[in-house]
Structure 1
Amino acid sequence: MNLRSSEEIDSLLMTKPTSARIAAYLRGDSSHCYGPDREAANILMTTTPLLKEAERARRGFVIATARTFATVTRQLIVHGYGYPSSASPNLHHVTHAVHPGMPVAYLDDDPSVTAYLHRQFGRHRGVHTATAAMHDLSSLPALLPGDSADLLSDRPTGVILTGLELIRDLNPVLAGLRKHLVAGSRLAITHLRTDEMTFFEIGELTGIYRTAGALFTPRSSDALAAALKRAGYVLDEPGPATLHPWEAHNSRHVLGHRLLLGVTATVPHQIAA
């Protein structure tokens, strides 16, 4: 496959913001951002100041969860990780410290992100990158190299999905993924919590992400839990919970951040009726 460089793709997209570059800016990394991204992120931070901390908490949750999943699964698949940061370890570093050589697949629907990840990590042992929409997870084996695809049907897999607030209908995503995961596989999700947002905050988020080509979908913690249960996952305690920002190396899930939900779940040996 002839991959364009991230700079080539970015040059095509630099006239409008993207959700990945907005998130990077909110985390404090402006190296991937252009004027429209900075403008959009600054509007969001003015409207909802805690978004900056929420995005940092999201990255911290993902890294901590990857470390945990590396102890109980045979490979890790993450969708929507976004641009890596020099301020924190990346997922393959974290997993390989626990399980050397463990396959790690970075999937993203933004081709600029995928090109950048491929350039940075494509030669690392056990690392795979691919451009795929989250709905493409229903065809997950086709997105992975042969050995990793074979592992899906043989060994527990860890999957991390970030930014599900930008997915309109969770049901086909979660159910489509579930059919490829064997018992004991683990799933982690991050989702902005809208239970306590004002209508103004939700409206601003919806408008900004619309300019970035994404559809922001308000969803409560109860709705997120219900979607996971419908798809046949068993939620780990305490279920969808708000997260407090933490340092990336901290492996404990600290509760208390009102804007970001994190939840982990397990594929059971038998789906409950």
Structure 2
Amino acid sequence: MTSPSSGGGRPQSIEIDTSKPHPARMYDYFLGGKDNYEVDREAAEEFMKSAPEVRVGVRANRQFMHRAVRHVVAEGGVRQILDVGTGLPTEPNVHQIAHAIAPDTRVAYVDNDPIVSAHSMALMAGTDTSVVLADVRDPRGILDHPDVRKVIDFDRPVAVMLVALLHFVSDAEDPDGIVATLRDALPTGSYLVLSHATGDVHADRRENAAAVYNSASATMNLRTHSRILDFFGDFTLVEPGLVPVPDWRPDAPDPRQAPPIGIYGAVARKNG
């Protein structure tokens, strides 16, 4: 399969590994998308046996992302967004939400799955949005990537988004160091938007569900509320703080009796 290089450069060949499930493609399946393979669908179905609420959860996480983007653009005044671990494009995506409020908002999407990169590049062609094939485990590489730098000026406030991403980074891969590198690169007035899976809200801590990812391209590492709080460092949490994603500034009360959602989310600001 071939795709254009990020930033509209010369086409390059990319290899898509379909021998293992990939979190982005499984997430797409949970959302009802079609950009996934049999190996992803089988793993996703196995996951749902132990965590039947996952489809509700990923939609709640998606809605959290929408509200968070609206907050940082409309209330925070941010006009630059670095979305790391963007996943397969699902409308409305970050740039569409931001542009509805401020059309001059610039967005850089980053993901480590070539199929995500290929699909995103095709959709973003002709826009001022960059799509970069890179891995959060190399945060310095992301910050210094020329196609990120084309869009993002790190002398001005930036919103960095790590939505449903860090639970795919193990402790051995130093998630604290990764987030600290990203936080330290941001000027005052910037934001960190983060959501993360947890076992806190279920009696079985969803250990069997998480184990499904042991055969995927990245493991799932569920973390506690206090552990997830550590990722925000000295940034100031926007009210209501770190809460289950349906509870972060909902647009309206949900009249349905929703199951407990094991995903925390928060938005935090870097103060001077």
In the alignment, does 2:67 pair up with 1:64? yes
Q: Could you say which residue in structure 2 is the equivalent of 1:159?
A: 160
Question: Does the 8 A contact of 2:158 with 2:186 survive in 1?
Answer: yes
Gaps of 5+ in 1: none
Distance 1:152 1:195 in 2: 36
Q: Percent identity?
A: 26
Deviations 1:132-180 (A, max 9, x none): 111322344322444434x211x11111102211112321111100121
Alignment of 1:85-96 (within 5 A): 85=90, 88-96=91-99
Q: 1:134 to 1:201 in 2, by over 3 A?
A: same
- Distance in 2, matches of 1:253 and 1:92, equals 23
Q: Is the 8 A contact 1:81 1:106 kept in 2?
A: yes
The partner residue of 1:27 within 12, 15, 31 is 31
Give the conservation status (yes or no) of the 8 Å contact 1:196–1:258.
yes
- 1:166-207, CA deviations, whole angstroms, 9 ceiling, x for partnerless residues? 11232111110012100110111011121133457313313x
1:210-229 superposed Cα distances (whole Å, 9 cap, x missing partner): 21111211201111112322
TM-score scaled by structure 2?
0.84
Following superposition, which runs of at least 4 residues in structure 1 exceed 4 angstroms of deviation?
1-5, 253-257
Alpha-carbon distance in structure 2 between the residues aligned to 1:57 and 1:200: 19
Structure 2 unpaired stretches of 5+: none
Aligned position for 1:252: 251
Residue type matched to 2:251 in 1? R
Q: Does residue 1:170 correspond to 2:175, yes or no?
A: yes
Q: Which amino acid counterpart does residue 170 of structure 1 have in structure 2?
A: P
Output the CA distance in 2 between the equivalents of 1:173 and 1:237.
25
Deviation at 1:32, TM superposition (A): 0.9
- TM-score, length basis structure 1: 0.84
1:210 aligns with 214
Aligned partners of 1:262, 1:121: CA distance in 2, in Å? 27
Matched, 1:132 2:134: yes
Query: Which residue in the other structure is 2:101 paired with?
Result: 98
Q: Distance in 2 between matches of 1:237 and 1:200?
A: 26
Where 2:70 maps in the other structure, the secondary structure is helix
Match of 1:84 among 76, 83, 89: 89
2:192 is paired with a residue whose SS is strand
- Is residue 140–residue 177 contact of structure 1 (8 Å, CA) maintained in 2? no
- How many positions carry a matched residue from both structures? 253
Q: Secondary structure at the match of 2:82?
A: strand
RMSD: 2.5
